[in-house]
Amino acid sequence: MADHEGKEGKFSRRDLLLRIQAASQARWEEEKTFYAEPAMEGQPCPEGKFFGNFPYPYMNGLLHLGHAFSLSKLEFAAAYHRLCGKRVLFGQGFHCTGMPIKACADKLDRELTAYGCPPRFPTQQDEEEEQQPAANGDAGAPVDPTKFVGKKSKAQSKKGPGATQWDILKRSGIQEEDIPQFRDSSHWLHYFPPLAERDLRAMGCGVDWRRSFITTDMNPFYDSFVRWQFWTLYRQGKIVKDKRYAVYSPLDGQPCADHDRASGEGVGPQEYTLIKMRVKELKGKLSALEGQADGGVYLMAASLRPETMYGQTNCWALPDGKYGAYKGLNGEVYVMTYRSALNLSYQEKTPKRGEPECLLELTGQDLMGLPLSAPNCPHDAIYVLPLLTILMNKGTGIVTSVPSDSPDDYTALQDLKKKPKLREKYNIADEWVMPFEVIPIIDIPGFGDVAAQVVCEQLKVQSQNDTAKLAEAKQLVYLKVIGAGCQR
């Protein structure tokens, strides 16, 4: 009994405040304190007016503390102006347009289709059992006791609980039997806005709830307001409907704006210049393209610095990288990665939008030694050589080489020149490498017109394996060339 009384005394002040809060909110509701009535037409409003709006919170979940913090600023301002005697309108909308709700609904639908309802997701034990056969295959291999080998990838380890849409909804307090309804994106519009209003009422916000609304065409009044806005701007020539570069979601079939993404916020389109290097002789595996490329076969290199193409000495490909020969426009065939071909197809540079047609699957080794005609290059032909540091998820997987201004290109070319066994390993003929020297194209104060060579020699870079020194060399060259480089 004493312990119970002690607990009551401990929370008595809190309970008193809650009783005062409930009584005050009930009185506000009864007296319609926050109702805002506009002045009649022609009627003066000497007391002044104040209108405040908090950017509509998105309705793909419950409100959180961040919303409360931001909203409190408007709540304090509205209360202040109301105390000053002004007519105050604090309206609250709920944001339901855009992709997040649709993306969440589609994600839940995919989960239930793949794993049943209720879903049985793969557990950590299931993943370890799947990986066990592969691990047993290396049972006889020596183990380095100084190195830790995890059973899960870094990405898997970072996922943590609640990474599925099912779990996210369940942790929001939604009963399992109700979750399947959220496969329909319209259900979100009926479920979360009332809960948001409940929480804002509990917070005591001075909102005129008669004027609350959701966006989308499910609310014809707000929808007509937005339509009027856009048509007015369109008729005035202020806006146009046209195509632009954007982050695009093939899964949803439309651009994916910054706040519409589950990940990758802040990422924008990266502009590259594609360097079309025509294959002068279709040999080896590429001979299968004879008769299928009236417009020619091109290796497509993505470059951020097309002005350096005057200094090309060769072209790079990843020997074990996966490439393809894709049908392009005007009878041309483009050799690149599937990822880059897909991106190109959405820019309408292939016959079918969003459907790159692969005529021939290739590896980087299939491209070694191909003679190329490169634009603005002083050589009649340059050759494809191996580079092991190419990232296949960046650019096109094909990289043009300018050793005068790229420490990576300079070092890789020197490695091939100095190491006959390296050439032999990738079946590289001497005449594809040995005759080609650095071509000076850009003069940089302090480094001259072969900056990459000068900096690599100064830092004593011995090979491509000197990654730390190469990173320092690139930093030195690129900073200087951007600020002070002068094209010859």
DSSP per residue, 13-60? HHHHHHHHHHHHHHHHHHHTTT---PPPTT---TT-EEEEEPPPPBSS
- Rounded to 10 deg, the angle between the 407-418 and 467-484 helix axes is 130
pLDDT of residue 153: 39
pLDDT at 7: 60
Among 239-243, 411-415, 473-477, 482-486, the minimum mean pLDDT is found in 482-486
pLDDT value of residue 138: 46
Q: Is 83 left (phi over 0), alpha (psi -120 to 50) or beta?
A: alpha
Tokens representing 334 are 């483009």
Radius of gyration in angstroms for the set of CA atoms belonging to the chain, rounded to a whole number: 32
Report the C-alpha gap between 225 and 220 in whole angstroms. Answer: 9
Q: 116-130, 192-206, 400-414: which has the minimum mean pLDDT?
A: 116-130
Tell which wins on pLDDT, 112 or 243.
Answer: 112
pLDDT number for residue 149: 44
Kindly give, in sequence order, each residue whose CB lies less than 8 Å from that of residue 117, ignoring residues fewer than 6 positions away: 180
Q: Which of 412, 411, 425, 329 is nearest to 368 (CA)?
A: 425
Rounded Cα gap, residues 369 and 426, in angstroms: 10
In this predicted model, what pLDDT tens digit does every residue of 182-236 receive, in sequence order? Answer: 999 999 999 999 999 999 999 999 999 998 999 988 899 999 999 999 999 999 9
Which amino acid, residue 381? A
Pair of tokens at residue 281: 């002789």
Indicate the average pLDDT of the chain.
87
pLDDT band of residue 487 (cuts 50, 70, 90) is confident
Assign 16 a pLDDT band (cuts: 50, 70, 90).
very high
Question: Which long-range contacts does 433-437 make (Cβ < 8 Å, 24+ apart)?
Answer: 433/314, 433/383, 433/385, 436/313, 436/314, 436/379, 436/382, 437/313
DSSP 449-474: T-HHHHHHHHTT--STT-HHHHHHHH
- Single-letter residue type at 338: Y
d(CA 340, CA 231): 37
pTM, 2 dp:
0.71
**pLDDT at position 391, please?**
93
Confidence of residue 6 (pLDDT cuts 50, 70, 90): low
223: Cβ contacts below 8 Å, ≥ 6 apart: 215, 216, 217
What gap in Å lies between CA 428 and CA 425, rounded to an integer? 8
pLDDT in the model for residue 444: 87
Distance CA 414, CA 404 (A): 12
Q: Which of 226, 201, 225, 227 is nearest to 92 (CA)?
A: 201
Both structure tokens of 407: 């420490």
Indicate if the pLDDT at residue 128 is higher than 60.
no
DSSP class of residue 183?
G
Beta strands 93-94 and 213-214 are: parallel
Cβ proximity of 97 and 186 under 8 Å: no
Beta-strand runs (E) in 285-342 = 297-303, 314-317, 322-327, 333-336
What's the pLDDT score for residue 42?
Answer: 77
- Residue matched to tokens 């805002």: 36
Mean per-residue pLDDT, 101-126:
86
Q: What is the pLDDT of residue 204?
A: 92
Query: What is residue 8's predicted lDDT score, i.e. its pLDDT?
Result: 62
pLDDT over threshold 70, residue 159 = no
User: Looking at 39-43, 55-59, 270-274, 350-354, which range is the least confident one?
Assistant: 39-43
Average pLDDT over every residue of 339-346: 95
- State the DSSP code for 63: -
- Report pLDDT digits (tens) over 242-290: 888 888 888 778 888 777 776 777 888 889 999 999 999 999 999 999 9
Banded model confidence at residue 81, pLDDT cuts 50, 70, 90: very high
Tokens linked to 96: 């339901």
Percent of the chain residues past pLDDT 70, beyond the cut: 90
Q: What is the mean pLDDT of residues 319-332?
A: 96
What's the pLDDT score for residue 264?
Answer: 76
Distance between CA 222 and CA 231 in Å, rounded? 14
Distance in angstroms (rounded) separating the CA atoms of residues 275 and 340: 13
Whole-number pLDDT of residue 32: 93
Cis ω before 378 (30° cut-off from 0): no
- Check whether 144 has a pLDDT greater than 50: no
pLDDT at 345 over 90: yes
- Tell me 118's DSSP state: T
Per-residue pLDDT for 145 more than 90? no
Q: What is the pLDDT of residues 438-477, one digit of tens each?
A: 999 998 888 888 999 999 999 999 998 899 999 999 999 8
